[in-house]
Amino acid sequence: MAKVSFTLNGTTVSVDSQGTLLTALRDHLRIPSVKDGCAPQGQCGCCTVWVDGDPRVSCVTPVQRVDGRVVTTVEGLDAEVREAWGEAMCATGGSQCGFCTPGIIMRLEAGKDLLAHMCRCTGWQTINEAVQVRRGEVVLPHSETRDLVSAQQRAAIEGRATQDVGPHVALGAGGFADDIAPANSLVAVPSIAGEWLVGETTADARRAAATVQGRKSSVGLTYPINLPVGASSLFAHTLQTTWVEPAYLEPDAVWCEPLGEPVGPLLNGGAFGGKSMTSVLALELQEVAQHLANEHQCPVRVVLSREDVVRRSPKRPPMALAVRPDGTGEVWVARTSGLADIIGRYAPDWQVYEVDVDGPATSVDVRAAGWAEIAVMKSSVSLETEWGDYVVSPEGAQAWAHVDDSGIHVRVKCGQVLDAVVLRSYCIGAAHMGLGWVRSEGIAVNESGEPVDLTIRSFGVIRAVDTPLIDIEIVEGDGPSINGSDAVFAAVAAAAWRAAEFPSTWPCQR
């Protein structure tokens, strides 16, 4: 087979001429910082590298095009440059899961903007602040002066899973399953029919599975649960929501050695409940990895594509809600295990009706499922406080939010702070997510209930250029540390709905 040669991080390498630069870097050259978030869509920016000094999305760059050229990844940056970016991102909270940031760093170091990138964790603002630190426009304490153990504790509280905090995370070394699998691992991917196909590389396995690139459909959003006839005249406000994709950047991945225990998926900052070690999807991937490793007597990586994630991952349950002026109300929800109980505990004065709906799987593990919707409705019939819409989470965290032309203004109280940088970062990310939930996020499904918006840009996550200023005031509490960002998510959604004058469907600016 024909070969191409190029200089990679200062060393001449030779690889097969077939495939993309991304597959060459990840599968053949084992460069872990170059992430596959959406290949071959070319829409998330996680696989960005330099080709002759210019940023390129490697998943849509044929490897033949870099023959004789110079390719640089994060690993190839000067050591002081890598250190500066890692320190800056850590100091501002500009990286939570760290999946998107290696590509972002490569683009920013080249002096480009963020239009080509996606981030689910941070809400962009702390990344922009890291740029200021990197340029010397802002000076922050060195990360070694922070107690990173406390930072990790706060991150675990906000992410509801073990988290890693440090300069290395922004450089892509957060421990993603597909990065740390043994080099001799086979790769397994699912076909659309659900059969698992195995190959020596990701590209080989996807060819065997006849994987095709996902598309954004022309199908409009639908609201699968209807309100009773006349409900709008009987209640103060009504609301219908649709299917919402968790949109975490790292596609689910698990690996396993023969006779070993499965490793992954990594429950990182950007999942926010969308991933769970005990979810039906995670358990399936772990079982498949273990079975195939034993069958082939070789380590096996089970890797989902972006399209696989959209088809298989659980969504936020759609609802129809109606609130009375006194804050009581009724809610019709897509039947989801545990959802009625969550709502019943949070709002015992609300009536809950479960509805069978044809559509994607749903889960109560996604951020603040059930109670956030009720909190938004109850806030809508209350006057704004001095600091805006007020929400108390089931754990007792308090958040206030106001949305206006100047941006999003948030106040949060959630016990002992532990680490203000991490808490602020997670609250900014939650504000970004809450705003997107109201304004733009949702995916279309067809008449059979199958998701048809399969590209990462079709989810409606708000871009960096469209994200307003987010101001966070943290109030130190006396009690134990509890999750605060979920309360911020609900409070910002309430404030965004109020600012939009309470339209009856979300998203309201799609």
For residue 452, give the CATH number of its domain: 3.30.365
pTM of the full structure: 0.96
Chain-centre distance of CA 465, in angstroms?
18
Phi, psi of 402 (to 5 degrees): -140, 135
> Is residue 220, in this structure, part of any structural domain at all?
no
> Is residue 504, in this structure, part of any structural domain at all?
no
pLDDT on residue 218: 87
Same domain, 110 and 28: no
CATH for 10: 3.10.20.30
Q: What is the 3-state secondary structure (H, E, C) of 403-464?
A: EECCEEEEEEECCCCCCHHHHHHHHHHHHHHHHHHHHCCCCCECCCCCECCCCHHHHCCCCH
Same domain, 149 and 205: no
pLDDT on residue 159: 95
Same domain, 196 and 330: no
As a whole number of angstroms, the distance between CA 492 and CA 408 comes to 8
The conformation of residue 27, written as its DSSP 8-state character, comes to I
Same domain, 434 and 468: yes
pLDDT on residue 142: 58
Q: In terms of residue numbers, what domain contains 208?
A: 179-212+248-312
CATH for 158: 1.10.150
pLDDT tens by residue, 296-326: 999 999 999 999 999 999 999 999 999 999 9
**Final residue before a domain boundary, out of 28, 44, 76:** 76
> Is residue 226, in this structure, part of any structural domain at all?
no
- The segments of the chain whose pLDDT lies below 50 read none
